[in-house]
Amino acid sequence: MTPIVFHPFICRSDNYGLLLHDPETGATASVDAPDAAAIASHLEARGWKLTHIFTTHHHQDHIEGNEALKQRFGCIIIGPRAEAAQIPAIDQSVSGGDQISWSGHTLSVLNCPGHTKGHIAFHLPSDQAVFAGDTLFSLGCGRVFEGTMDEMYRSVSQFGELPPDTRLFCGHEYTQSNARFALAVEPGNAALQQRAVEVDRLRAAGQMTCPSTTGQELATNPFLRTGSAEIRRALKLDSASDAEVFAELRRRKDTFK
Judged by the rule CB under 5 A, the positions of this chain that interact with Zn ion are 59, 134
242 is catalytic: no
β partners of residue 210: none
Q: What is the DSSP string of 106-134?
A: EEEEEE--SSSTT-EEEEEGGGTEEE-TT
**How near is the Cβ of 65 to Fe ion at its closest, in Å?**
13
Active site includes 105?
no
| Cβ-based burial of 207 (10 A; exposed 0-12, middle 13-18, buried ≥19) | exposed
> 22, 32, 35, 61: which is the annotated catalytic residue?
61
Q: Are 20 and 29 in contact (CB under 8 A)?
A: yes
Is 200 considered catalytic here?
no
Q: Which is nearer to Zn ion, 64 or 134 (CB)?
A: 134
Tell me: does residue 61 bind Fe ion (CB under 5 A): yes
In one-letter notation, the amino acid at residue 42 is H
The amino acid sitting at 154 is: R
Chain positions 165 to 194 lying near Fe ion, rule: CB under 5 A, are 171
Interacting residues with Fe ion between 115 and 144 (CB under 5 A):
134
Supply the minimum distance, in Å, between the C-beta of residue 31 and Fe ion.
12
Q: In 3-state terms, what secondary structure has residue 146? A: coil
Active-site residue flag, 98? no
Binding site for Fe ion (CB under 5 A): 61, 134, 171
What positions carry a catalytic annotation? 57, 59, 61-62, 115, 134, 172
